[in-house]
Amino acid sequence: MVVTTCPHLIMPLLSERQLRRKPLVVIVGPTAVGKSRIAVEVAKYLGSEILTADSRQVYRGMDVGTDKPTLLAREGIAHHLIDLVDPDEPFNAGLFRRHATAAIDGCYQRRKLPLLVGGTGLYVRTLLQGLCEAPPSDPLVRARLRQDAYEQGSEQLYARLVLVDPLTAVKLHPRDTSKILRALEVYDQSGLPLSSFHAEHGSERPFSALVIGLNRARDHLYRRIEERIDWQLTHGLVDETQTLLYRGYRRDSPAMKGLGYRHVASYLAGDCTWDEMVRAFKRDTRRFAKRQMTWFRREPALTWLMIEESEPAEQTVSRMMGVIHPFLAGLDGDVDTHSFLNS
């Protein structure tokens, strides 16, 4: 094995000064852009541990369909926030934040720089900007509200929301049932409108974060998505879905409504042909990638890196280190990190 000198090697352990700033390097981007692979390489240079911000990789037994990095692909780098719950257990942004905060504290105790990698924009935001103090989701309250929606129609739920929380109501479309449900759930539990919790929350910035967005040309990204889906379908996604169904996980549960699983399940149930299933799976994944881009475009102070089709991974990693290095150097000095980054 040839050992090459690494041109980007930075202090393997964080200094006291850096630790006090609570540093966090974040890599986001649409699905199939190549985040996981790049992240492992970056983590090797930084002596980092990886935290996954992925709402699907938290489920045990959902591996092929969530593109979960295999043990081999992790190359000995510690990966956190994967396989946290079974597919029928509730999981949400609040739980993610709790797990992630604990994992980050662990990294700091080992004086390691945490590297947050993922495509779930809401989960990333719970760390960068915190979460308001509204009561968490309650399965019982939610079940009752969903029953109401089923019996009276979502228009009735919206009408209720207009009465108890007009500020949230104007922000939501009357058909946006899942968000209406959440707002009513908060009111039913606390007697206070969700909008009041939002107002109280304000702006919070718990970490000194460097956020890097990876992207590729649209047609190039779409081609990668299709190739990955073809690979998943011939490398165990069908068996994986069948096993999950056999174990009794319902098709309409949050975990099974993920991309791929819901498509394969509908094919297995005889609702569509194989070709129809593949087409819908690819189309829905393209649309998802597009929604992710809409979300990340809004993320403040995000540095975009466009990956060229022919660009070797080492070069992308090298360009990323060109951004990360000054960030870490800034943390070590007296410079205000934020103004440094924005200059």
List residues near RNA by CB under 7 A: 31, 54-57, 65-67, 91-95, 119-123, 125, 130-134, 136-137, 142, 146, 171, 173, 175-179, 181-182, 186, 194, 197-198, 201, 218, 222, 254, 257-260, 280, 283-284, 286-288, 290-295, 297-298
Q: Is 172 helix (H, G, I), strand (E, B) or coil?
A: coil
Upper half-sphere CA count for residue 86 (Cβ side, 13 Å): 7
Q: How far is the CB of 135 from RNA (least distance, A)?
A: 7
- Pick between residue 94 and residue 326 the one whose CB is nearest to RNA: 94
CB of 90 to RNA, least distance (A): 7
Of 89 and 332, CB closest to RNA: 89
Q: Are 62 and 68 in contact (CB under 8 A)?
A: yes
Q: Looking at this protein, which amino acid is placed at residue 178?
A: S
Q: How far apart are CA 59 and CA 61, in angstroms?
A: 6
Nearer to RNA, 73 or 122 (CB): 122
Phi, psi of 80 (to 5 degrees): -110, 165
CB of 121 to RNA, least distance (A): 6
**Residue 71 C-beta: closest distance to RNA, Å:** 17
Q: Are 182 and 171 in contact (CB under 8 A)?
A: no
Which single residue is written with the structure tokens 């005889």? Answer: 270
Beta carbons of 320 and 10 less than 8 angstroms apart = no
Q: How far is CA 311 from the centre of its chain?
A: 25
Of 225, 214, 226, the residue nearest 319 (C-alpha): 214
| Residue 284 or 332 with smaller CB distance to RNA | 284
Residue 249 or 327: which CB sits closer to RNA? 249
Nearest to 26 by CA among 146, 110, 113, 155: 113
In the complex with RNA, which residue's Cβ is closer, 139 or 248?
139
Q: Report in angstroms how near the CB of residue 18 gets to RNA at its nearest.
A: 28
Question: Least distance from C-beta 285 to RNA, angstroms?
Answer: 7
Nearest approach in angstroms of CB 124 to RNA is 9
Structure tokens at 294: 């809409």
Tally Cβ neighbours within 10 Å of residue 17.
11
Beta carbon nearer to RNA, 113 or 265:
265
